[in-house]
Amino acid sequence: MNLSFTRYYPWFFRLAVYAFAAGAFSYVTADPDLWGHVKFGEEIWSLGHIPETDSYSYTAAGHRWINHEWLMEILFFLLYDSFGSGALLLFKLALGLLIIHLLSNHVLKRATLPSVIYTLYFLLAIPVLAPAFMTRPHLATLLGTTLMILLLHKTLTKESEDENNTGSWIPWTAPLLFLIWTNAHGGVVAGLGMYSVALGWEGLTALRRGDPRWRRLILLLFASWAAVMINPYGYKLWLFFLESLGQARAIVEWAPVHRWSADHWQYKLLALLFAVSVAFDKNRRVWEIAIILLALIYGFKHQRHTVLAVIVLAPYLPSRLAAMWRAFGANKFRQINFGPAFHYIAAAGLVIFSLFQIFNAHTQYRKNDYRIVVHPTVYPTYLAQFMRDNGIDGNLVVPFDWGEYFIWKRPESKVSIDGRFRTAYPESVIQMNEDFEKGRGDWKRLLDETPADWVVAATREAVAPRMDRESGWEKIYQDPLAILYARKTDPPYLALKNFRAGKLIHNPNPAPYRFPG
């Protein structure tokens, strides 16, 4: 095989991984909470401070609001305000590729790692990561976890033992990372937890052995703990995390990974490969195995944590698979003479695959004018248009996933619930809304105990047929996705009066499907 070609051969594999990531991270549909994040960021930017209480709902008006995502919301607002929703798409794609690049650099710095194993790992990991790449503050936790695990390796592995090397200052950036992270997203809890387990274990081990490194490790840990207290809420933010994170969430991404189904098969396969590789790892690092196990366990408990697990797994699993390959299969494989033609064909296949992935991502963006899409089969764009044309405002009972959409679309109205969840709503209000949406138990309590004027229901919701039978409410609008009910009052609301007189406006024009819709 030509020497010059051999030199660049691994880059074809790396190109394939980056291109695959670009295609997988090219979601263009709006996240349910994006409207809120941009609006809340605008409010903070214009006020110059973070609101302490809720002003967007009628069920929790004046309730304390712990906004742990404020820094990312300001960033989202500035990007959107300056360059439109296309900038938000570009931002999340760039951040995703940065994560892949940082992990790739760390994995590939081991010269003995075969390109095929590197590629195999990321072809399994990227589909696990992809669902997290919506435009949401959670992106800060993906980047934070990546930087945290790389800092741990820089701090605790042999590459960092020479204090005279030029990178010896890098571990001391950890407190800065946690300072920014704790003001950007609550996922800092997971990051700080793993960091504390690793540094705590290694610090105590060094102390037991009389290794003077223990002082440095413990000081790093205390500095990081101090850094997370620098936020608008101080220690109360962490009290809130402790109080809320242990409570159940009726949200899909907080559901467990079902162990005996084909769902999340890439994640399950990576977990299995990890279990096998640990069994053959005679020089395993306790801190590394411990945080990987924690991440994998929480990944099985909550789907949203699978993405953190594959990030934490990246510095370990590819190198262990390579070691197993060298021990059990490499010699036999080397005896096979593929010849130059095979390698040229393989390289061409990798290039074609990469071009296809890039073209696919570009097509997704181009057909939507490089803007975020508000799809009318997902969001009630036609209902919002109807409410605007008929001047319908007031207290809105809304489904959880549509709350922040209506905060944006009907700013003169107040909603019953939205994606801020426990950060802005007491448990009693959350429970009332959940019971209403599912039409279970005392589902009417939300209508009877709060001053609701209108009910927005998804046609698929269990509560819809119950509302159809309610004598105190009247349906005035329905499309394939959403229904609007008006409370019967005396005198009736103007929109209800116009409905009975056949005077409501029904706009024949298509609803806008580009963000904000």
Residues 137 and 235 grouped into a single domain: yes
Boundaries of domain holding 429? 381-500
Instruction: Check if the beta carbon of residue 455 is closer than 8 Å to that of residue 484.
Output: yes
Residues 296 and 392 grouped into a single domain: no
Last residue of a domain, one of 301, 334, 367: 334
pLDDT at 332: 60
How many CA atoms within 13 Å lie on the side-chain side of 448? 7
Helix (H) or strand (E) holding 516: none
- Tokens 């951040």 -> residue: 95
**Predicted TM-score of the model (pTM):** 0.93
Residues 19 and 76 grouped into a single domain: yes
Please check whether residue 343 lies inside any domain of the structure. Answer: no
Residues 245 and 300 grouped into a single domain: yes
Neighbours of 338 (CB within 10 A): 11
Please check whether residue 350 lies inside any domain of the structure. Answer: no
Nearest to 267 by CA among 322, 305, 219, 294: 305
Residues 173 and 249 grouped into a single domain: yes
Helix residue ranges per DSSP H, 233-328: 235-245, 265-279, 286-301, 306-313, 317-328
Residues 110 and 225 grouped into a single domain: yes
pLDDT at 157: 84
- Tokens 């798409």 -> residue: 89
What is d(CA 19, CA 419) in angstroms, rounded to the nearest whole number? 32
Give me 172's structure tokens: 């001391």
B/e letters for 67-100, b = 16+ CB within 10 Å, e = fewer, are bbbbbbbbbbbebbeeebbbbbbebbbebbbebb
Residue 284's alpha-carbon distances to 65, 147, 346, 391, in angstroms, are 44, 22, 34, 65
Residues 92 and 162 grouped into a single domain: yes
Please check whether residue 41 lies inside any domain of the structure. Answer: yes
DSSP 30: P
What is d(CA 400, CA 23) in angstroms, rounded to the nearest whole number? 30
Residues 24 and 111 grouped into a single domain: yes
Residues 328 and 399 grouped into a single domain: no
Residue 465, Cβ density class (10 Å: 0-12 exposed, 13-18 middle, ≥19 buried): exposed
Return the amino acid letter for 434.
E
Residue by residue, DSSP assigns 267-292 as HHHHHHHHHHHHHT-TT--HHHHHHH
pLDDT at 163: 43
What is d(CA 403, CA 379) in angstroms, rounded to the nearest whole number? 11
Please check whether residue 329 lies inside any domain of the structure. Answer: yes
pLDDT at 481: 97
Instruction: Check if the beta carbon of residue 252 is closer than 8 Å to that of residue 303.
Output: yes
Give me 442's structure tokens: 């005392």
pLDDT at 137: 97
pLDDT at 105: 94
pLDDT at 67: 98
pLDDT at 164: 42
Last residue of a domain, one of 295, 313, 334: 334
Q: For the chain, what is the domain count? A: 2
SS3 sequence of 198-211: HHHHHHHHHHHHCC
- What is the block-wise mean pLDDT of the chain (517 residues), using blocks of 10 residues? 61 94 94 97 97 97 97 98 96 97 91 85 97 95 98 81 58 96 97 96 94 93 97 96 79 82 93 93 91 95 93 95 79 62 82 93 91 96 97 97 98 97 96 95 95 97 95 96 97 96 94 91
Contacts (Cβ under 8 Å, ≥6 apart) of 64: 52, 53, 54, 424
Residues 170 and 294 grouped into a single domain: yes
- 250-295, pLDDT tens digit by residue? 677 778 888 888 899 999 999 999 999 998 888 889 999 999 999 9
Q: How far apart are the first and last CA of the chain?
A: 55
Residues 161 and 298 grouped into a single domain: yes
pLDDT at 498: 96
Please check whether residue 218 lies inside any domain of the structure. Answer: yes
Neighbours of 428 (CB within 10 A): 12
pLDDT at 110: 67
Residues 313 and 391 grouped into a single domain: no
